[in-house]
Amino acid sequence: MSSWTTKVLGAAGAVVAVGATALAGLAVTMPAGVDGPGAMLAELQGHTETSDHADAADAPRADVPGWTRSVGHDVTVVRPGNASGDDAGSVRAHMTLDEGARPPADCVDLSQVGMPFDGGGNWPDLGEAAQLCEGWVTVVLDDRLYTWSDDALQVEAG
């Protein structure tokens, strides 16, 4: 092989190595709730703002339903980011609940689940059973809570 070819291949290899290292570093710095290229791109472009919290009590009050503060763990919160425009207070969260924890008894059954704003993450099929609890659409699947709200739901609950 000529020295020119060796230099070109060496330079190309270096570029690939630097790019792979940058992507690996980026993946490590993303919150746990940012999984997959679409969610990562939305986060990088400022369309979403994702945060993780060990316990629901650690999350800002407006980011999780009040009843979850003592029973929710491994929390991921997604809000529209600065580049998303008017978010109308949209927020969605999912977390693991303590064994046996359930939404408050005064929650109201909803006729349909609906869907939170597209925060770019992977959520399972939420089925048909949803409740409105304290202004939050609430779905519990096994020990996982999926919940979302916005300013209009919070005003209605107020």
Cβ count within 10 A of residue 65: 23
Lowest mean pLDDT among 20-34, 46-60, 63-77, 110-124: 20-34
> Is the pTM above the cut of 0.95?
no
15-26 pLDDT, tens digit each: 555 454 444 444
Task: State yes or no: pLDDT of 40 exceeds 70.
Answer: no
Please compute the mean of the pLDDT values over residues 105-133 and round it to a whole number: 77
* Cα end-to-end distance, the chain, whole Å: 75
Q: Which pLDDT belongs to residue 27?
A: 44
**What average pLDDT does range 27-47 have in this prediction?**
59
For residue 137, count other CB atoms closer than 10 A to its CB: 22
